[in-house]
Amino acid sequence: MSHQKILILDFGSQYTQLIARRVRESSVYCELHPYDVSPEFIRDFKPQGIILSGGPSSVYEEETPRAPDVVFDLGVPVLGICYGMQTMAAQLGGTVENASHREFGYAEVRAQGHSALLRDIQDRGNEEGHGLLDVWMSHGDKVTALPAGFKVICSNAATPIAGMADEARHFYGVQFHPEVTHTLQGKALFERFVHDICGCGYDWNMPDYVEEAIGRIRSEVGSDEVILGLSGGVDSSVVAALLHRAIGTQLTCVFVDNGLLRLNEAEQVMKTFADNLGVKVIHVDASGEFMKHLTGVIDPEQKRKIIGREFVEVFQRESAKLPNAKWLAQGTIYPDVIESAGAKNNKAHAIKSHHNVGGLPETLHLKLLEPLRELFKDEVRELGIALGLPHDMVYRHPFPGPGLGVRILGEVKFEYAELLRRADAIFIEELRASGWYEKTSQAFAVFLPVKSVGVMGDGRTYDYVVALRAVQTQDFMTAHWAELPYTLLGKVSNRIINEVRGINRVVYDISGKPPATIEWE
Ligand X SMILES: O=c1[nH]c(=O)c2[nH+]cn([C@@H]3O[C@H](COP(=O)(O)O)[C@@H](O)[C@H]3O)c2[nH]1
Ligand Y SMILES: Nc1ncnc2c1ncn2[C@@H]1O[C@H](COP(=O)(O)OP(=O)(O)OP(=O)(O)O)[C@@H](O)[C@H]1O
CB 172 within 8 A of CB 79: yes
Q: Is 236 an interacting residue with respect to ligand Y (CB under 6 A)?
A: yes
CB 359 within 8 A of CB 308: yes
Contacts of 394 (CB under 8 A, 6+ apart): 234, 237, 238, 381, 384, 385
Query: Which residue, 85 or 329, has its beta carbon nearer to ligand X?
Result: 329
Q: Is 442 an interacting residue with respect to ligand X (CB under 6 A)?
A: yes
CB 258 within 8 A of CB 310: yes
Give the active site residue among 82, 154, 200, 253.
82
Angle at the Cα of 250 from the Cα atoms of 246 and 255, rounded to 5 degrees: 100
- Which of 55, 94, 163, 400 forms a contact with ligand GLN (CB under 6 A)? 55
- Which of 26, 87, 258, 356 forms a contact with ligand X (CB under 6 A)? 356
Name the residue number minimizing CB distance to ligand Y: 233
Q: How far apart are CA 86 and CA 90, in angstroms?
A: 6
Q: How far apart are CA 130 and CA 117, in angstroms?
A: 14
Q: How far apart are CA 92 and CA 86, in angstroms?
A: 10
Which span sits near ligand GLN by CB under 6 A: 20-28, 138-146, 185-193, 430-438? 138-146
Judged by CB under 6 A, the chain residues 321 through 350 that form the site for ligand Y are 330-331
Angle at the Cα of 383 from the Cα atoms of 377 and 388, rounded to 5 degrees: 130
One-letter identity of residue 360 = L
Name the residue number minimizing CB distance to ligand GLN: 54
Bond before 515 cis per omega within 30 degrees: yes
Q: Is 240 an interacting residue with respect to ligand Y (CB under 6 A)?
A: no
Task: Please report how close the Cβ of residue 138 comes to ligand GLN at its closest, in angstroms.
Answer: 5
Distances (CA, A) of 4 to 37, 47, 50, 71, 507: 20, 7, 12, 17, 52
- Which of 47, 49, 54, 358 forms a contact with ligand GLN (CB under 6 A)? 54
82 noted as active-site residue: yes
Q: Which DSSP state fits 431?
A: H
Pairing relation of β-strands 367-369 and 442-456? unpaired
How many residues touch ligand GLN (CB under 6 A)?
12
Query: Which residue, 273 or 464, has its beta carbon nearer to ligand Y?
Result: 273
Judged by CB under 6 A, the chain residues 401 through 440 that form the site for ligand X are 401-402
Q: Does the annotation place 57 within a ligand binding site?
A: no
Q: Does the annotation place 80 within a ligand binding site?
A: no
Query: Which residue, 301 or 415, has its beta carbon nearer to ligand X?
Result: 301
CB 286 within 8 A of CB 403: no
Q: Is 95 an interacting residue with respect to ligand X (CB under 6 A)?
A: no
Task: Please report how close the Cβ of residue 174 comes to ligand GLN at its closest, in angstroms.
Answer: 11
Give the active site residue among 177, 200, 310, 521.
177
How many residues touch ligand X (CB under 6 A)?
14
Beta strands in 244-356 (DSSP E): 251-257, 281-285, 325-329
- Which of 256, 270, 291, 503 forms a contact with ligand Y (CB under 6 A)? 256
Give the active site residue among 103, 139, 179, 430.
179
- Which of 326, 476, 480, 489 forms a contact with ligand X (CB under 6 A)? 476
List residues binding ligand Y (CB under 6 A): 229-231, 233-236, 254-256, 258, 330-331, 356-357, 398-399, 401
Residue numbers annotated as active site: 82, 177, 179
List residues binding ligand X (CB under 6 A): 352, 354-356, 398, 400-402, 442, 476, 513, 517-519
